[in-house]
Chain A
Amino acid sequence: MSDLFAQAFMQHALLAGTGVALAAGLAGYFLVLRAQIFTTDALGHVAYTGALGALAFGFEPRLGLLVATVLTAIGLAGIGHRARPDDVAIGSTFGWLLALGSFFLTLYTTRPPSNSAGNGVANVSYLFGSIFGLSAGQAVLVAAVAAAAAALIVIGARPLLFASLDETVAAARGVPVRTLGLGFLVLVGIICAQAAQAVGALLLLGLVAAPAGAALRLTARPYVGMALATLIAVLSMWTGLIVSFYTSSVPPSFAILAAATIAFVASTAVGRRSDSGDIGRLGVRPIQGATHVRRSGHRSAGTSPPRRRPGRTRPHFP
Chain B
Amino acid sequence: MNQDSLYEQSADTYGSSLDRLARAYEFDPEVRRDLLQEIHFQLWRSFAHFDGRCSLRTWVYRVAHNVATGHVVRQRRIRGRLVSIETIEAMPDSNDQGELAVTQAEALDRLSMLMQRLKPLDRQIIVSYLEGMDASSIGELTGLSPANIAMKVHRIKNILKRWFVEGGHHAK
Chains A and B bind each other: no
- B residues with a Cβ closer than 8 A to A are none
- What residues of chain A have their CB less than 8 Å away from a CB belonging to chain B? none
